[in-house]
Structure 1
């Protein structure tokens, strides 16, 4: 089957451009004008042009299809560039290094843009409701707290650098039809209720996977599949287990993950919880679909849809495309299993920021765009068009969104809503270190883990080697 589960293609399975008409200029413009600011406020820098650089993500795809609604509201022209994240990081780095502002609005990935370049971004507190500019509607408290902290700040909460824009997070995605069909037999054979939830431990997840590897369920050959390619996806897949076992990349991992640090101290991957997590992960991958070590998040989603295995840790926004394909109505969603410490669900969300080098008129125009792009009205319209998952509590509280969290639904990402309320809680969210040299650390982690999965080194050697490389990168 051809790959179709890219982040950009998620929207295509939900009606594509036709569905995006829900972002129509008239109703949205009226709603925003009445609830947020008057025409004079919105039109104060009419005629300005700003440039927005973003990763290829569902929210940006949705917004780009209907950017005329923002232009009608404000008179501001927005030129949007969508790239793969690696290419975006390179272009942003060059822009900051030149001291210019080719890009006024920046998709500021917390690890690859915010951490190393936060000093080049505008403190949004200086624009929020200041000097005739509109304030964030419903206030900053309307953003999901862990997302606001994880995407918006660096080092402390004094300066706010981004507004939460998207929020992909890893959860347990499984074949609900098979778990329902074989529930009683599985419970009898395994000795526990196998219904996916954070009450299931990772050891029990392993047992469930082994059960499906047997001959009892003919629909799938394997119990579990993973995004264990030697790539960022492998770090993500492993980190869920690492944090569940109580392992951390650095001491005070919660703070380093939530707010970030330029000096995180020595890496702690050589400590016992991390080694135990590596041992379990090695054991789990030995019984997983053998294709796992060749798949990233897209590959594992395609294999799941093709019926190769019964469950996987995967980014929650893949629900949008899974529910538009052959498995529509057959998929279930739950927080990831619990380890000796907790259930950890890795967060991968990003905020949008303003280039500090931009001229004042562009900064004002960029702020108006940030307010509009992250507003409840725009997030609701994007949700209806498959444009990603809201980052605001008020959107989830809307009656039509609550109704859409149960089938039948025209907002398939909302089928994960109950799971996400748990996954984004401070006790469940998984936050990788927000450090300026994260790229080097990430590479060290997935490189060493790949050696372990290939049988070339032990879990102890893997964690020690990764620690040494990370300490070299941080200067610890």
Structure 2
């Protein structure tokens, strides 16, 4: 979701030969080629249900596909392992990557223009899937096709973690699937265990309880922890960092995700009265401006007031850098960042200093009119989908790449290498992954799996939406008004009302 590559464009195939899947090597098969679209070539040799697995994998030998992706760990690990796919299939794949907003613009132009320059798309659940879902191919037509190779575990909803398939692949109507879960970024709490232990007695003498992070740690506790760290820091102890910082900066979606976690944790509040997994093209008027939203906006502003002085400037990437640099003691961050925080060459929070816990829980006294306090947890579930404008043969060849790229072995390789975030349940059953969940570990992202896979993504803590066509405009509206409130330009009431008015207008409710 937020991986920053050294080289954003890949055109060569190279190294790592590990995947054994679908029948092994095949005899080279020749066929005529047809040039189609940007850097695209498609070849096809007919195969049948009774054909060998090797023939099914090789039926598009000599073809070339283009995959437009966000710069995430799977795309760069797969980029380095494309020779394995080429040897298996004879298909060349060019992987182009960029930051998510740029990817959204490029695929949007391609899809809406009726083109298929990018046969495969990275479908980030809300920013790309919500506005463009209708332009993608329904993958159900290929999962049961016995003339195509199939993953031995299958591609059904039950092979992925709970709700992952729905998050990135199902929009507005049940049944139709436009993407398979490719990677995920799920929020959890990162905190400096060493500093908590060092300062806990002083904190307890002032607040009357122990400073610790568990599944029962509330947003009120986080506020008090942050206020305490700030007091110590500004009281003259420059060796102690500030306590906390939020996701602000100019990436509007992650600002929306940041306040959404606090909102959902208090009574499971959501922005719209719609099915949270399917979303809606007609979401109705937003609930922004009600008493609960104002109450949480007030607390979000108070949290900002005790955060790092550069709070408003830090987007998600910058926030993690601040944590790695030892300038804050806590962050609610996406679990893919554990790998960087655990790197002793770049992080002052490494060497066992960081602990991981679920997202903070709602504070019961902050819930308006009753309701459940939960560990509000949200995510970005990135899927891999097929451009509906492509030819049928391009789609079939793209499906072959999709099932390979989301296979158990590939996800395990990414986890071991760049620090991936699995979407298949079976990856967590691999003995080496089970062992990696405890220190010492050679898969640092696995240290977050208790907080994320065992708790955060489970009901009632997980929130997926909003999945609405105008979601990107909504993110911009929300981020602008939240940041105006944090900066002191608007009161919480005024900010919530501004979000309500603009969101309703963007969705066509005047």
Q: Would you call these one fold, judging by a TM-score over 0.5?
A: yes
- Per the alignment, residue 376 of structure 1 pairs with 408
Based on CA coordinates, which of the two structures has the bigger radius of gyration? 2
| Aligned partner (choices 314, 337, 345) of residue 318 of structure 1 | 337
Structure 2 counterpart SS, 1:166 = strand
- Per the alignment, residue 383 of structure 2 pairs with 351
Please say which of residues 285-294 and 86-95 is displaced more in the overlay.
86-95
Q: Displacement of 1:248 after TM fit? A: 1.8
Aligned length: 458
Q: 1:297 to 1:381 in 2, by over 3 A?
A: same
Are 1:60 and 2:75 counterparts? yes
Please say which of residues 400-409 and 423-432 is displaced more in the overlay.
423-432
Q: 1:95 to 1:215 in 2, by over 3 A?
A: closer
Structure 2 counterpart SS, 1:53 = strand
| Aligned partner (choices 265, 270, 276) of residue 295 of structure 2 | 276
8 Å CA contact retained: 2:265, 2:461: no
Which runs of 5 or more structure 1 residues have no equivalent in the other structure? Answer: none
Please say which of residues 301-310 and 458-467 is displaced more in the overlay.
301-310
Please say which of residues 273-282 and 257-266 is displaced more in the overlay.
257-266
| Aligned partner (choices 434, 454, 459) of residue 487 of structure 2 | 454
8 Å CA contact retained: 1:55, 1:83: yes
Matches within 5 A, 1:40-51: 40-51=55-66
- Per the alignment, residue 3 of structure 2 pairs with 7
User: Distance in 2 between the 1:49 and 1:66 partners?
Assistant: 16
| 1:378-419 Cα shifts (integer Å, max 9, x gaps) | 100111112421001110111100101111111111111111
8 Å CA contact retained: 1:11, 1:387: no
Are 1:228 and 2:248 counterparts? yes
Please say which of residues 347-356 and 242-251 is displaced more in the overlay.
242-251
8 Å CA contact retained: 2:228, 2:243: yes
Matches within 5 A, 1:194-233: 194-215=211-232, 219-232=239-252, 233=254
| 1:69-118 Cα shifts (integer Å, max 9, x gaps) | 10101111101111111221111111112212111111012222222221
Structure 2 counterpart SS, 1:345 = coil
Q: Displacement of 1:355 after TM fit? A: 0.7
User: Distance in 2 between the 1:168 and 1:443 partners?
Assistant: 21
- Per the alignment, residue 94 of structure 2 pairs with 79
Are 1:248 and 2:270 counterparts? yes
User: Distance in 1 between the 2:419 and 2:332 partners?
Assistant: 22
User: Distance in 1 between the 2:502 and 2:250 partners?
Assistant: 16
8 Å CA contact retained: 2:123, 2:383: yes
Are 1:259 and 2:278 counterparts? yes
Structure 2 counterpart SS, 1:250 = coil
User: Distance in 2 between the 1:228 and 1:418 partners?
Assistant: 27
Please say which of residues 131-140 and 376-385 is displaced more in the overlay.
131-140
Are 1:438 and 2:438 counterparts? no
8 Å CA contact retained: 1:11, 1:58: no
Q: CA RMSD in A?
A: 2.3
Q: Which has the higher helix share?
A: 1
Q: Displacement of 1:151 after TM fit? A: 1.0
| 1:344-365 Cα shifts (integer Å, max 9, x gaps) | 1221121010011111221111
Q: Displacement of 1:135 after TM fit? A: 3.1
- Per the alignment, residue 97 of structure 1 pairs with 112
User: Distance in 2 between the 1:334 and 1:67 partners?
Assistant: 36
User: Distance in 1 between the 2:175 and 2:21 partners?
Assistant: 32
Are 1:239 and 2:272 counterparts? no
User: Distance in 1 between the 2:468 and 2:214 partners?
Assistant: 31
User: Distance in 1 between the 2:410 and 2:459 partners?
Assistant: 26
User: Distance in 2 between the 1:84 and 1:372 partners?
Assistant: 24
Matches within 5 A, 1:414-425: 414-421=446-453, 422-425=455-458
| 1:115-150 Cα shifts (integer Å, max 9, x gaps) | 222121111111003141133432321101221111
8 Å CA contact retained: 2:244, 2:330: yes
**Relative contact order (C-alpha < 8 Å, sep 6+): which is higher?**
1
Structure 2 counterpart SS, 1:107 = strand
User: Distance in 2 between the 1:351 and 1:433 partners?
Assistant: 17
| 1:169-215 Cα shifts (integer Å, max 9, x gaps) | 22111111112333344344332333212201111111111222233
Structure 2 counterpart SS, 1:309 = coil
Structure 2 counterpart SS, 1:86 = helix
8 Å CA contact retained: 1:245, 1:274: no
| 1:396-451 Cα shifts (integer Å, max 9, x gaps) | 11110010111111111111111112111132223230111011111110111111
- Per the alignment, residue 170 of structure 1 pairs with 187
8 Å CA contact retained: 1:8, 1:61: no
| Aligned partner (choices 331, 335, 342) of residue 358 of structure 2 | 335
Structure 1 counterpart SS, 2:375 = coil
Structure 1 counterpart SS, 2:143 = coil
Are 1:303 and 2:319 counterparts? no
| Aligned partner (choices 9, 15, 24) of residue 16 of structure 2 | 24
Are 1:413 and 2:445 counterparts? yes
